[in-house]
Structure 1
Amino acid sequence: MSWTLKLAASATVLALAGAGYAQDAPETAAPAINTTTGLRLPSNPELFGTTLPTEIRATAIVNGDVITQTDIDQRLALLAISNGGKIPSDQIQALRQQVLRNLIDESLQIQAAKAEEIKVTPADIDKTVERVAANVKQTPDQMATYLRSNGSSIRSIRRQIEGEISWQRLQRAKIENGVNVAEDEVKAVIDKMNASKGVEEYRVGEIFLSATPGNEAQVQANAAKILAALKQGGSFVGYARQYSEASTSPVGGDLGWVRPEQLPESIAAAVRQLAPGSISDPIAVPGGFSIIAVQDTRKILTADPRNAVLNLKQVSIAFPKGMTRATAEPVVQKFAAAVLGVGGCGGADKLAADFHGDVVQSDGVKLRDLPPALQEMMTPMQVGQATRPFGSIEEGVRTLVICGRDEATASVPTYEQVYSQLSEERTNLRARRYLRDLRRDAIIDYR
């Protein structure tokens, strides 16, 4: 039962109870006392001013900038959209608090950029909105309509974009220019990589939630709820962008390729135990908790077969709608037998013709971009070989024939690449400290 219904039910019960008491009471009962007599209120008062709708009531005021309940609701709806449209009811309150913290940080970042006379124009935001809409195959107007129909708004996305652009430009102006990387440091990293040839590296993502001794238990509980949502299929990148307090949040928490020894020991220990595609439990780190995702692995200066670039021909056959599996399976078995003798790419067109199928050629396909099952199957395959048929009766059955294969070669990163990575790491650390100082110096009035 909603709170509105609970209150309505309570009012009804009280009214009925009062009526029953009046019927049973003796006629000599003392009259009820009007507790407002001393106020001398008019019986039909005229109201002045404007009634404020509840959806714009302030939840926090950050150095004079108002964050409303609507801002929180629309950003929460945006998170729901990115995670399939649903947020578990037992997580909503904690996520509201996290959204509020994010909006406060966003306000501080925008304000700090303006204080440094860093301008983010509507045209800057429009360009990013267009790219975001294009990524979901919509126009900005179509995306705005979709967001509105799902409880969010284009304004919420525009504000988030403004915050990210402001923070990036502020970092370049205030932080990056002050970051120095010595030539000897770069050479030391390159020498260490040469000495570490064959050592495993990990592509790591991080969601960092800051904590103090006073709120540590609450933050840990929030981290556990985020982890539960991720395990139910939530987007790690989406949650990192929305909730991570690390400077990597605008890029979905991506730390890039790192070796365990580059990470805090508690995180390094977890990374070594995680398989690609796995997510860690919340890990206690200095200043808070981190949730770590290992996206991929590779060995330093060692060629990875999954980096091969393929030229492919796909042969696919379709089945009439409603065809039963029993009817289709004999055709699939014949197709599988024919695939074994396809005779390389030159035979792909004949294979398609024999089964009334289609041929699509695609060049420059990275093996690691294929689904994991196909990666595993195709890693040892040679030019001219075809995969086992895959797909479904409903969506069609297909095979991939390898027409060309360019193997990747391993090489030492360039001086410029190592310099850039060291500079980025130091910039991220300083950015985190800078945001901490902005929070400390802010005047925030919670309502």
Structure 2
Amino acid sequence: MRHFLSGLALATTLMMASPLMAQNLFEPVIYVNDSAVTRYEVDQRIRFMQLLNAPGATPEAAEKALIEDRLRMQAARRLGITVSEEALNEGLAEFAGRANLDTLSFIDALGQAGVERQAFRDFVEAGVVWREVIRQQIVPGVQVRDSEIDQAFKREIETPIIDRVLLSEIIIPAPPGQEEAAMNAARQAAANATSEAAFADSARRLSATPSASQGGRLDWVALDNLPPTLRPIIQALRPGQASQPLTVPGAVVLFYLRDSQGTLRPGATEQVLDYATLRVPSAQDAANVVARVDTCADLEARGNGQTLRQTLSQNAIPTLVATQLASLDADETTQINMGGAVDVLMLCSRQPALLAQSQADIPVTAEAEDGVEAAVPDANALPDREALRQSLLNQKINAMANAYLAELHADAVIRRP
């Protein structure tokens, strides 16, 4: 969307890219449960996708998107869901706002590029109505458990913070009048980038930079040295992935991530252990206890108030106990001969120390001169727990919505004339 305005320079070329004969302008090309998708709609969706710089703006992708929109609208009708004019106008304004335009200006810009107002309205209406379908059919049944949040925190803690990346680049010149050709070449290069060798081959053929002779390969670069607008795009890549084409003045750019390096957050390797200890007279007594307990709660009940349960950081646990706990998983036991008595030791749980602190407020690294916190987030801080819960909730909702749409597709009668 941020490249939308630059995409308008392609308008004249795009309008000539897929001419339609007047006599077959509204010829059905697909039926979705007897609802026709016309050739004109496909052409409009292709143009719209191209202007939005959407990946894979092909007839096949446009047909797929239109089929899914038909399924969304049909599902809404079966549920008695309709979109009010007010809700539709809000959706149009929200989408136009992503290009920093009001609705009328956005529609006017689309018109200059050959995209009709109705195509935009249909696209937004399908999205708005689907949102309501999801709200009614899916959201009420989705929950995020505290254990899922803890697991997400653990993954966050164990994932290094990327600070250096090893990139390859392709920079394709796009002088006036050749923007569409450059974008098409970039899209093809992105589609072909199934390996570093394939990307390097495209770089040698297409790129207009000194790195082209090395297959576009660049040296290690600090992430902080990249432009702020580029960092999230690179961070979203995994080694072996290429970015989608990016438009810049006079060129189209592609990046391929060959490798990345990062560091763990301070304290990420520290652990907090929850464990329980019950002292009994002999090894036989210890064996009897172990045979009858499965959890720390069982051990506490078995001890009749004599079980000692503690939650301590690793460096605060006595060395002998810490050594024994190191080999245990949750709810596993071991025995420590104390000379005249035996300790039954059970690990209740272990978690990163940072996870144990995750309920705390997000640290800040700066204060205003008047002493009021400027709320500059600590780069090493974990995400807010409620924000992470919402993120996991959204992931579940999206996954279930996609599964629901796939089910609608499987049940539909989709045919060509």
Give TM-score, length-normalised by structure 1. 0.41
Give TM-score, length-normalised by structure 2. 0.44
